[in-house]
Structure 1
């Protein structure tokens, strides 16, 4: 783990160590960037299974898997009356498989950050709404849907704040406005019960955090992490209004060639058709879900690919319904005119991915920070296996196209990417950890074990947030040697220098550490792994020199 994931996990780790379930702590300071749900899940996993990377990632994997299973169940529920069980199961299986094989769900479902917790909660909340909308005469489904909505929206607000309520409200409100179903959702008693359940889940922690920290929490969380993130560019993450369009296609591969026609089929043209009793409600709701969430984050000033993760389930279901529509109308079951083009593009992407996989070792060999990684990657056989699997999927797709069976083009996609998921992605994680993370982790653990009382640890260069988790101690993060001079002149405590401190530990890339321009005999090199080094240096060598006041004018 490193960077954002390591930061997120360490906050949960600190909750467990401090036994403080109200205040998020990171690097000996309160950390109000995100609410508490994800931290609670990580801390609970650590308590049950021990502190490890696997335990840190288990909650997010469970959340992602829950959405895949819920996708299967939702499509079974929405199967047309009188349809054979086999067709219903096939549709549900394809929908769940499409979502499970997207890069979005594969990647974020294995990364312990707040994005998947928010996305899974929003998805399950909207799925609950779809459960309630399935049959207006079925009180049991309506009750289940209402309870699910209140619970999962509450969890979404605990996972990332007001956006967890705002996004489902926008989607549901737009759907009710389009289809005119407001009346049954505004009945006082059910609405009050949902509100109480939501407040009972979401508000206690916010009330406790406000009681303990007051304005520091309200300003740091609501002001900085929510309002400013939407209205201002934070952490150097800008983007144009169309920023998410290419990312949506990338995160939906290999299914993205079929998304435009899936959108075209789902659109209620004209809009008046959406109010008809026999209108296909599910595709129209999914389309609103996809468009409104992407539009919402496109309007925000700060942009990151993971923000549109809540839109991926809607896009996945739309694509799956392209092959297995819910409508019994023969016109809706006919292949769209652009189907052949999308299918050929899909085959070209698979073939291109196969060629890229075969060339991957030569590309990664250019990474000077990890010169041995290319050889280890090639020796593992994973690039070759990936190339074969994608190549086979492309060949099967080609055979289907030549046999005029492009309505089955989903099969090589699904089978090929499931094989990639279990045959390549699963063993690739340990390889990446061993070759790229283990050397740094060993230095971080060494920094924790070798540190002396009152000795600060400075991480120079790349922000290795994982240092806190693996080193078991706080650290000061610096860009380069000049930061030491600037901070020392302001206040030595900004560098974690105590009155009893006599030396500092420096961890970073060799070229960054060389920027201190220290004589070799004044540096105690405690460890080296590749280009990463750990030094101990006397503070006398690092102290900024006073400028002479008697400099002669030249």
Structure 2
């Protein structure tokens, strides 16, 4: 039976090989399906998630309102956390498709799509994991070629698997669907690194083996690019432009990290100065400067030392050398983040890295450039991982830029195993497969138990019960449990390990469609929808000179959906003191709209507000929208002990 399946697969592949146009059409359709499901499906169907996403969305909206495209603002204050590229792209989206969630998240989604597509292209032409494979590809002196892979088939497998893994991993899915700058940085940096590697391969003047045959096999990756603006490859020009965009997306890290990665890669191979001359670094830095520096000059001229201290001092240097906003974590934090954020493929990362045999320096230095993608991906992975492990401030999103490298490493491993004639898996693959099964079982149990570990959420008081009643935890637990059983069966059968990747991928995509997507709508309805609706009502019923206050909590999405500034008060006495102060200083004080948690509103009615001092405008979820009459408050006797 297994032999029949193998023969059928081989026959199917041979048919496709004879019709490359059909194979490309099939690949384009597959890529489109991957990108649609992973990044575009229901992208703008849920509201902005507090806390960070609305900060970016509102800062971009302010640019369209004020016409100031240099200094970002949120809620009347400058926002120097990030450079402007993500704001510019969102603002352009507002002008094209309106101020909505789609426009907010499209920059992240398009960045992820670009990264997935270029990853596919790179692997399609350079997806060889072993230097010996490319060296032997054109050799006619081998005694036994039956054990050698089909390089063309391996590249197609690498491309398909790699594109799926770049898209379908938890941390990429989350940030590609979130309107912040993290995915934009990852997309710019990732496509820049891939562009560099393609140009690096094209720059090789001599490859072992027959040069003419090599040109046929790798021409599209190396030989088709014509010099542009003096660069030996147009991909080098693309590299510098994308680095400039990365700097405008996140700051100095956009050039520091790629520089460390490429520098380590070239030093390891012993061709650092050769490639530096080849890529015309001086002119490239000039292009980066022309594209990236002007905004930094303009924003500094507009805001002076305040911008320098906040952006470069606080959000860059201090984040690296100290703990910012209590984001501390132990040194092993990113081991856990990669393990969970790249699940289930993280089970195979150690084997993928070890299989490269990176310690064999001389063999790598003697290998053709076209066979060095695995080593480059390892430098990419280790560079990002090491840099942010050293940094004191730690956040899960910081390692997002290494996920494409992890996907490439595992894709090369998978294509290698599927192409070589391996009758039985070795110890490393057995251990990785066993860990895969254990992880799937743990994942199934965690999802089943998830309603019990959510805890108290003041924004959605009955979230745990609602989630349990939806049946989604049970559905997710069963799905991953079935995947674990299928993986066990595969490992117990001869060559069944070849189906592990398919089992994981099918379960992952099914989990997105059947569990994650419905859960996102449920969470949005329970947590964000009431606040969003009350914010819109506040914008509709707003009277002239009427302020909007928020008491007891701070949700930046209110500023975006109400389209106005909001004053926040975390304590009751400060809130009352502010209202009394305004009421007593203005001759005809207007009323005030107040968005407040229901439990705090009940407490406020008992201690400070009388029935004639407010009216309830609306309520939803855990919140009340009330209108407080300042004129009435100004006329009542001032209670002793009120803080002004």
Scaled by the length of structure 2, what TM-score is found?
0.77
Distance in 2 of aligned mates of 1:47 and 1:206: 24
1:107 aligns with 2:195: no
Report the CA distance between 1:468 and its aligned residue: 0.6
Return the match for 1:527 from 618, 630, 633.
618
274-283 or 430-439, larger mean C-alpha shift: 274-283
Quote the residue 1:243 is aligned against. 333
Does the CA-based 8 Å contact 2:248-2:292 persist in structure 1?
yes
Give the conservation status (yes or no) of the 8 Å contact 1:151–1:197: yes
- In 1, the alpha carbon distance for the partners of 2:389 and 2:86 equals 25
Structure 2, gaps ≥5 residues long: 1-47, 129-133, 138-149, 206-221, 226-231
Q: Which residue of 2 aligns with 1:95?
A: 162
Name the structure 1 match of 2:484: 394
Gap change, CA 1:368 and 1:157, over 3 Å in 2: closer
| 1:247–1:305 contact (8 Å) kept in structure 2 | yes
**Between 166-175 and 214-223, the greater mean CA deviation after superposition:** 214-223
Which deviates more, 265-274 or 319-328?
319-328
The alpha carbon displacement at 1:85 in A equals 3.9
- Greater relative contact order (Cα 8 A, min sep 6): structure 1 or 2? 2
Matched, 1:452 2:543: yes
TM-superposed deviation, 1:326: 9.7
Where 1:525 maps in the other structure, the secondary structure is strand
Q: Deviations over 1:433-484 (max 9, x none)?
A: 2232111111112222233333332223332000111111101223222544
CA-CA distance at 1:223 after TM superposition: 2.0
- Pick from 214, 220, 239: which aligns with 2:310? 220
Q: Deviations over 1:272-328 (max 9, x none)?
A: 443233585222221221122112112222211101111111112112222223999
Secondary structure of the 1:526 match is strand
Change (3 A) 1:365 1:118: closer
Moved more, 538-547 or 251-260: 538-547
Distance 2:492 2:352 in 1: 23
Q: 1:131 touches 1:144 (CA, 8 Å); kept in 2?
A: no
Q: Does 1:286 align with 2:377?
A: yes
SS of aligned partner of 2:349 = helix
- Structure 2 matches for 1:261-300, cutoff 5 A? 261-277=351-367, 280-300=371-391
Residue equivalent to 1:462: 553
SS of aligned partner of 2:81: coil
Candidates 403, 407, 413, aligned match of 2:493: 403
**Counterpart for residue 111 of structure 2:** 63
Aligned 8 A contact 2:127 2:412 in 1? no
For residue 513 of structure 2, what is the aligned residue in structure 1?
Answer: 422
- Conserved? CA contact 2:592–2:627, under 8 Å: yes
SS class of match (1:3) = coil
Report the count of equivalent residues: 543
State which drifts further: 214-223 or 372-381: 372-381
Find the counterpart in structure 1 of residue 595 from structure 2.
Answer: 507
**SS of match in other structure, 1:234:** coil
Residue in 2 that maps onto 1:40: 88
Determine the structure 2 residue equivalent to 1:152: 242
Tell me: CA distance 1:422–1:480, structure 2 relative to 1, closer, same or farther (3 Å).
Answer: same
Structure 1, residues 331-387: CA drift from partner, whole Å, max 9, x if none? Answer: 9x9845232122122123223333444454566696564355456546655444433
Instruction: Give the whole-Å Cα distance in 2 for the aligned partners of 1:180 and 1:443.
Output: 62
How far, CA to CA, are the matches of 2:331 and 2:573 in structure 1?
37
For the pair 1:478 / 2:569, whether they are aligned, the reply is yes
Separation (CA, whole Å) in 2 of partners of 1:304 and 1:508? 30
Check 1:329–1:200 CA distance in 2 against 1; reply closer, same or farther (3 A cut): farther
Question: Residues 151 and 327 from structure 1, CA distance in 2 versus in 1: closer, same or farther, beyond 3 angstroms?
Answer: farther
CA deviations over 1:178-230 (Å, ceiling 9, x no partner): 11122333328832332232223212222222232232322222222212222
Residue aligning to 1:130 = 197
Paired residue for 2:45? none
Q: Distance in 1 between matches of 2:529 and 2:178?
A: 17
* Structure 1 residues 472 and 98: CA distance shift in structure 2, 3 A: same
Confirm or deny that 1:306 pairs with 2:392.
no
Alignment equivalent of 1:337, drawn from 421, 427, 433: 427
Given that 2:550 and 2:594 are in contact with CA atoms closer than 8 Å, whether structure 1 keeps it comes out as yes
Q: CA deviation at 1:518?
A: 2.0
Out of 354-363 and 59-68, give the one that drifted further.
354-363
Partners of 2:283 and 2:441 lie apart in 1 by 54
Query: How far has the Cα of 1:46 moved from its partner?
Result: 1.3
Give CA-to-partner distance per residue, 1:482-527, whole Å, 9 cap, x none.
Answer: 54479899xx79x9x9786444333232334455432452342222
Which residue in 1 is equivalent to 2:188? 121
| Aligned counterpart, 2:413 | 322
Does 2:442 correspond to 1:352?
yes
Residues 12-51 of structure 1 aligned to structure 2 (within 5 Å): 12-51=60-99
* Contact 2:244 2:292 survives alignment (8 Å): yes
453-462 or 95-104: bigger deviation: 453-462
- Per the alignment, do residues 329 and 389 of structure 1 end up closer, same or farther by CA in structure 2, a change over 3 Å counting? closer
Q: Equivalent residue for 2:293? A: 203
Distance in 2 (alpha carbons) for counterparts of 1:414 and 1:170: 33
Aligned-pair RMSD on alpha carbons?
3.2
Q: Within 2, Cα distance between the matches of 1:408 and 1:372?
A: 41
Q: Partners of 1:89 and 1:501 in 2: how far apart? A: 71
Partners in 2 of 1:107 and 1:134 — Cα distance? 33
Could you say which residue in structure 1 is the equivalent of 2:147? none
TM-score, normalization by structure 1:
0.89
Alignment CA distance shift 1:271-1:329 (3 Å): farther
8 Å CA contact retained: 1:397, 1:412? yes
